[in-house]
């Protein structure tokens, strides 16, 4: 398998210089995007295509009793209606991605009349146009027999149990005697924090376009794991994986959604097969709240004890998150929150509750965002109780090792991040006393918090070929999620092979290419920079002229079986090396202004300083950090999915009521990149930074709000109601 595929690639326009890593490079796919030529899956038009729409359940628990379809069937242009009567067992079950399968929710729509959550698919209607399909789906009259659901973790019937009883590979962290340490402490904090349900709202909605040619299926779908979608669909439809091709050459944002195999894809493929026509299903903004995944709500109890000098004696973190009744999806975060600072005694316990909702999923920096909101808020509370500057408190408790395992950090640039942020921000000007600065009717406050994240890496296969005329082509089934992967791979090959940037073509997002894993865990650059470096070295060993390398890249220290997982669409991201902690770090400093009369909150200034290994493209890195910082403000102040606790129905399923920031909500942002030369993390010294920028922002804002007003807000998002 060394022949290049027919997949079109992306190439820089007119750039005859050899690229230099570490120099800023604009996106090579930028012209395609701004000219409307980038092929997003939902835009692909297939001749003869019909359009599908879904009807979703109005109740959260029970069963469908009747579906009156006469009105829908009578509409001109309606081609097919699929309900549980037509589908039933025709689609085979596939497990969740994190439980050895491929799916982001193992829920099988239309398999039975059973209702397990509000907004689940109860019918698929196919018609000549998307408008007719939507109108016909709305015309279905559906009857239910309902039961009262358990809507959220706040409902005690969600019955959160220790995660150790559900996931055998989960270990709660413990060292020393926390109660004794807290008993001996001069100052203690014992506080509860919560974060809400949040939904990914990328501009590009989920969609699936299915095209059969004989017994071969081609699917255009925005998924950040095409190989898992391929294998999952094959398993669901009784096909061999080679019969299924999944294509996602561009993805219009995902924020952690669009994970692997989606539950709506197989029913679209089934409809296309039954109709003998290609079918596209696009999920509406409203329905993506229940068809795609979400960030679960979280609850935390943090206990800290310190001596009078601020030395931490004990750190306790108890947390609870929620999953669906049919999948065990849990974000585990206490391994980060309780390894951040030195402490003699540590105890962490994580619990998982069950609710009548779709399975939650990762949302960027899945555990670190909520877990460090809690921990970094509590650290600020401790600093205030001790009358110690919060940066000085972190300096006093800095550690070179994980206090529980004793493993060393490969590098530990946390305090250098705080120092760099402090210099850029002017932290020395901060008033330590809350509610001390009133400026033109606004209370002004300053707050800070840490960001920290373990580095992840995965195996990946790629093909690198060079023509006799020097032109280079790179192929891998990885994904352009907006992070600049086309650009990254082209610049690496240009520098390493000494060819001009516009002689390099990159093909991504297609299962016809060598297999790759998930675009997740901020692992993409880390994995591919190392893999492509190896491939370039191998290619250069071959005689000049037409030459080609097909590489199965295995990160140093990974088990050889990881390559089998790669081919089978079962990849697990790895934290390596095993005998150390390789983390990226950051520090946020924000200024907030809280209106004295109305409680309105503004964030005029935000400085983020980050250390994440070697930075290959500072232009792309800065964009990632700015995006993360903006989204962090969104998480701190705006984003929350409201659920009706009686019905289990999400209430704000649109962009009018689910709030995200606009440019007008963002004040001055400064990104500082702190050098972090780490030769232990991986050969290229890359750590991945896609998710780092968002972590800790919410705590920095909450801490600044306390400094401004003297009011401690422990529940996100922070809204006017808490401040007046």
Q: Which residues are catalytic?
A: 691
Please report where in the chains the tokens 């390099």 appear, as a residue.
Answer: 504
- What is the smallest separation between the CB atom of 525 and ligand MOS, expressed in angstroms? 12
* Residue number closest to ligand MOS, CB atom: 256
Q: What is the DSSP letter of 503?
A: G
DSSP code at position 149: -
Decide whether 218 or 519 has the Cβ nearer to ligand MOS.
519
What is the rounded distance in angstroms from the CA atom of residue 56 to the CA atom of residue 51? 17
- Residue number with CB closer to ligand MOS (254 or 357): 254
Burial of 360 from C-beta contacts in 10 A (0-12 / 13-18 / 19+):
buried
How many Å apart are CA 695 and CA 633, to the nearest integer?
A: 10
CB of 358 to ligand MOS, least distance (A): 16
- State which residue, 167 or 408, has the beta carbon closest to ligand MOS: 167
What is d(CA 12, CA 94) in angstroms, rounded to the nearest whole number? 40
- Smallest gap from residue 296 Cβ to ligand MOS (A): 13
In the complex, the smallest distance separating the C-beta of residue 237 from ligand MOS, rounded to whole angstroms, is 27
Of 361, 355, 293, 290, the closest CA to residue 154 belongs to 355
What is the spatial distance between Cα 64 and Cα 571, in angstroms, rounded to a whole number? 37
Q: Please say which residue, 230 or 519, places its beta carbon nearer to ligand MOS.
A: 519
When the beta carbons of 137 and 573 are compared against ligand MOS, the nearer one is 573
Residue 691 Cβ vs ligand MOS, minimum distance, rounded to whole Å: 6
Q: Count CA within 13 A, CB hemisphere, residue 443.
A: 23
3-state secondary structure of 672: strand
Question: In the Cβ-directed half-sphere of 23, how many Cα atoms lie within 13 Å?
Answer: 10
CB of 102 vs ligand MOS, minimal distance in Å: 16
Q: What is the DSSP string of 83-146?
A: -HHHHGGGS----BGGGTSSBS----TTSSSEE-STT-EEEEEEESSHHHHHHHHHH-EEEEEE
Output the smallest distance, CB 364 to ligand MOS, in A. 4
CB 458, min distance to ligand MOS, A: 12
Sort 41 into a burial class: Cβ within 10 Å, 0-12 / 13-18 / 19+. buried
Instruction: Specify whether the CB–CB gap between 127 and 287 falls below 8 A.
Output: no
Q: Are 35 and 584 in contact (CB under 8 A)?
A: no
Judged by beta carbon, residue 297 or residue 691, the one nearer ligand MOS is 691
Nearer to ligand MOS, 551 or 694 (CB): 694
**Beta carbon of residue 366, minimum distance to ligand MOS (angstroms, whole number):** 5
Task: Kindly tell me which of 314 and 362 has the beta carbon lying closer to ligand MOS.
Answer: 362
CB closer to ligand MOS out of 483 and 647: 483
Q: Which positions ≥6 away from 554 have C-beta within 8 Å?
A: 459, 560, 562, 563
Q: Which is nearer to ligand MOS, 321 or 494 (CB)?
A: 321
Q: Which helix (H) or strand (E) holds 312?
A: strand 312-323
229 vs 346 by CB, closer to ligand MOS: 229
DSSP H or E stretch at residue 693? none
CB of 143 to ligand MOS, least distance (A): 38
Q: Break the chain down into helix, strand, coil percent, rounded to 5.
A: 30, 25, 45
Residue-by-residue DSSP string for 552-597: EE--TT--THHHHHHHHT----B---TTEE-EEEEEEEEEEEEETT
Asked, as a colleague might, if the bond just before 477 is cis with ω within 30 of 0, I would say: no
Cα dihedral 598, 374, 452, 177, rounded to 10, equals 160
3-state DSSP call for residue 153? coil
CB of 718 to ligand MOS, least distance (A): 23
Residues that bind ligand MOS in the complex, under the rule CB under 6 A: 256, 362-364, 366, 520-521, 691
Cβ contact 719:645 at 8 Å: no
Distance CA 496, CA 507 (A): 18
Report the alpha-carbon distance of residue 499 to residue 12 in Å, rounded: 12
Is residue 317 a contact partner of residue 374, using CB atoms and an 8 Å limit?
Answer: yes
């Amino acid at each position: 398998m060394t022949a290049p595929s027919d997949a079109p690639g992306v190439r820089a326009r007119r750039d005859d210089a050899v690229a230099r890593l570490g120099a800023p490079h604009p996106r090579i796919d930028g012209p395609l995007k701004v000219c409307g030529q980038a092929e997003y899956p939902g835009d692909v038009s297939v001749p003869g295509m019909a359009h599908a729409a879904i009807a979703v359940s109005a109740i959260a628990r029970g069963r469908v009793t009747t579906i009156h379809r006469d009105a829908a069937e009578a509409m001109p242009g309606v081609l097919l209606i699929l309900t549980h009567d037509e589908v039933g067992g025709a689609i085979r079950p596939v497990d969740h991605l994190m439980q050895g399968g491929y799916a982001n929710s193992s829920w099988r729509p239309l398999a039975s009349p059973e209702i397990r959550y509000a907004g689940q698919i109860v019918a698929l209607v196919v018609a000549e146009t998307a408008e007719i399909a939507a109108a016909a789906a709305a015309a279905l009259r559906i009857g239910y027999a309902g039961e009262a659901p358990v809507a959220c973790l706040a409902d005690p019937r969600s019955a959160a149990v220790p995660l150790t009883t559900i996931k055998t590979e989960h270990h709660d962290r413990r060292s020393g005697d926390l109660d004794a340490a807290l008993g001996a402490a001069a100052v203690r904090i014992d506080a509860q924090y919560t974060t809400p349900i949040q939904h990914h709202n990328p501009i590009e909605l989920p969609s699936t376009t299915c095209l059969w040619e004989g017994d071969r299926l081609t699917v255009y779908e925005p998924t950040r794991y095409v190989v898992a979608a391929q294998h999952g669909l094959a398993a669901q439809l009784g096909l061999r994986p080679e019969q299924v091709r999944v294509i996602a050459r561009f993805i219009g944002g995902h924020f952690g959604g669009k994970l692997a195999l989606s539950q709506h894809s197989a029913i679209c493929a089934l409809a296309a097969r039954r109709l003998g026509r290609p079918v596209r299903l696009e999920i509406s903004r409203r329905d993506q709240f229940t068809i795609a995944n979400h960030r679960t709500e979280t609850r935390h109890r943090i206990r800290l004890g310190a001596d009078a000098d601020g030395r931490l004696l004990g750190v306790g973190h108890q947390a609870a998150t929620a999953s669906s009744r049919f999948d065990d999806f849990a974000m585990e975060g206490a391994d980060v929150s309780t390894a951040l600072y030195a402490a003699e005694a540590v105890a962490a316990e994580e619990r998982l509750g069950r609710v009548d909702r779709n399975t939650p999923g990762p949302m960027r920096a899945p555990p670190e965002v909520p877990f460090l909101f809690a921990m970094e808020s509590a650290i600020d509370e401790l600093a205030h109780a001790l009358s110690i500057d919060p940066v000085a408190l972190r300096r006093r408790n800095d550690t070179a090792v994980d206090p529980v395992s004793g493993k060393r950090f490969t590098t530990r640039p946390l305090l250098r991040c705080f120092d760099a942020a402090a210099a850029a921000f002017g932290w020395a000007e901060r008033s330590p006393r809350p509610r001390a600065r009133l400026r033109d009717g606004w209370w002004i406050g300053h707050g800070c918090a840490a960001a920290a994240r373990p580095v992840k890496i995965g195996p990946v296969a790629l093909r690198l070929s060079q023509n006799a005329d020097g032109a280079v082509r790179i192929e891998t089934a990885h994904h352009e999620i907006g992070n600049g992967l086309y650009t990254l791979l082209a610049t690496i090959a240009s520098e390493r092979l000494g060819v001009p940037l516009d002689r390099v073509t990159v093909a991504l997002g297609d299962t016809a290419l060598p297999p790759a894993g998930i675009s997740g865990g901020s692992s993409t650059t880390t994995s591919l920079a190392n893999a492509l470096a190896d491939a370039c070295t191998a290619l250069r060993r071959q005689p000049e002229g037409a030459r080609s390398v097909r590489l199965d890249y295995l990160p140093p220290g990974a088990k050889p079986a990881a390559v089998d997982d790669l081919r089978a669409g079962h990849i697990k991201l790895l934290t390596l090396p095993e005998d150390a902690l390789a983390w990226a770090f950051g520090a946020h400093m924000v200024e907030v202004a809280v209106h004295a009369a109305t409680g309105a909150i503004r964030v005029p200034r935000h400085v983020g300083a980050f250390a994440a290994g070697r930075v290959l493209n500072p232009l792309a890195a800065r964009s990632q950090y700015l995006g993360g910082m903006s989204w962090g403000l969104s998480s701190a102040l705006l984003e929350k999915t409201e659920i009706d606790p009686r019905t289990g129905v999400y209430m704000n399923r649109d962009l009018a009521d689910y709030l995200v920031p606009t440019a007008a909500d963002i004040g001055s942002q400064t990104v500082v990149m702190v050098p972090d030369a780490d030769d232990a993390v991986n050969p290229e010294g890359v750590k991945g930074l896609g998710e780092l920028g968002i972590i800790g922002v919410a705590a920095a804002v909450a801490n600044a709000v306390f400094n401004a007003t003297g009011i401690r807000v422990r529940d996100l998002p922070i809204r006017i109601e808490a401040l007046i």
